[in-house]
Amino acid sequence: MRTFTSVTLLTLASLLTSDRAGAGLYNTVEPSRGPQPTEHGVKPLGFSAFRDDLTTYLTIAVETQVTPSRKHYLEKSDELERRERAGGLTTEEKVNLSDYLIRLGRYDRAIQLLTPVARTERRNFMVFANLGTAHQLAGQLDRALSYLEQVRDVWPSEWPGFTREQLSWYREAEKYHLKLVRLRYRESLRQPAGRSRPPESVDDLFGNDRGPLHFVGASGRYEAGKLAATEQEKLPRDAVALVQQLLLWVPGGAPGLEDARLYWLLGELYNAQGYTTTAIQVLDRCAWTHRLPAADLREHLKIIRASEPLPETVSNTAPAKPLQDQAPPLPATRQIDLRQVVLVGGLAAVAVVGLIYLQVREIRRRRK
Could you please report the per-residue DSSP string of 209-260? Answer: TTB------TTSS--TT---HHHHTTS-TTHHHHHHHHHHHSB-SSTT-B-H
C-alpha atoms less than 13 angstroms from C-alpha of 316 in its C-beta half-sphere:
0
Residue 243, helix vs strand vs coil: helix
Is 338 inside any structural domain? Answer: no
- Mean pLDDT per 10-residue section of the chain, whose length is 368 residues: 42 33 78 86 94 95 94 98 93 98 96 97 97 95 97 96 92 97 94 78 94 96 98 96 95 85 97 97 96 96 92 42 37 46 60 64 60
Is 147 inside any structural domain? Answer: yes
Phi and psi at 42, nearest 5°, equal -125, 130
The pLDDT score that the predictor gives to residue 350 is: 61
Tell me the residue type at 44: P
Strands (E), the chain: 37-38, 41-42
Q: Are 240 and 227 in contact (CB under 8 A)?
A: no
The pLDDT score that the predictor gives to residue 133 is: 96
The pLDDT score that the predictor gives to residue 344 is: 56
CA 84 – CA 113 distance, rounded (Å): 9
Is 254 inside any structural domain? Answer: yes
Tell me the residue type at 159: W
Is 108 inside any structural domain? Answer: yes
CA 50 – CA 205 distance, rounded (Å): 20
Is 253 inside any structural domain? Answer: yes
Residue 328, helix vs strand vs coil: coil
The pLDDT score that the predictor gives to residue 13 is: 32
Closest CA to 246 of 55, 73, 92, 23: 23
Domain extent at residue 89: 19-188+220-260
Is 83 inside any structural domain? Answer: yes
CA 363 – CA 250 distance, rounded (Å): 108
* DSSP, res 251: B
The pLDDT score that the predictor gives to residue 241 is: 97
CA 119 – CA 131 distance, rounded (Å): 12
Tell me the residue type at 200: E
Is 143 inside any structural domain? Answer: yes
Q: Are 238 and 172 in contact (CB under 8 A)?
A: yes
CA 360 – CA 357 distance, rounded (Å): 5
Inter-axis angle of helices 295-307 and 260-272, nearest 10 = 30
- What is the number of structural domains in the chain? 1
**Looking at residue 123, which CATH number applies to its domain?**
1.25.40.10
Is 214 inside any structural domain? Answer: no
The pLDDT score that the predictor gives to residue 266 is: 98
